[in-house]
Amino acid sequence: MLCFADWGHRYTASVSGFTLVARTDLACDVSFPEKTLGEGVGFLNECVGAGVRIYSASRFGYVQRRGATFGHTWDISTMELLMTSTIGHWGPPHEMEMPTS
């Protein structure tokens, strides 16, 4: 399932389930909130508030897995996911999507 297909390789207001790369001075100036859920979103909100631009890179090499039906910070129903996404295939990721070498 591909969500937000047009959000790659551009500046955006937020990214989902991210791996973060930032300058050291930014990481020192903007801190993560003291909580166990949603700290990434809180950090991004602080960055945007400080005038930082967020860049969304390639969607390849990244898989987001939703195993449980509770405890997610992104509260979205299965139906909404299906309505706003493109189904590429079923099953584990292909080699092109998540290379092993």
Q: Are 45 and 30 in contact (CB under 8 A)?
A: no
| Cβ count near 42 (within 10 Å) | 17
Sign of CA dihedral 80, 83, 85, 90: positive
Q: What predicted TM-score, i.e. pTM, was given to this entire model?
A: 0.62
Identify the pLDDT of residue 64.
Answer: 66
Identify the pLDDT of residue 8.
Answer: 84
DSSP string computed for 46-80: HHHHTT--EEE--STT------SSS--SS---HHH
**pLDDT tens by residue, 8-53:** 889 988 887 667 788 888 888 888 888 877 788 888 899 999 999 9
Q: Are 85 and 3 in contact (CB under 8 A)?
A: yes
Identify the pLDDT of residue 65.
Answer: 64
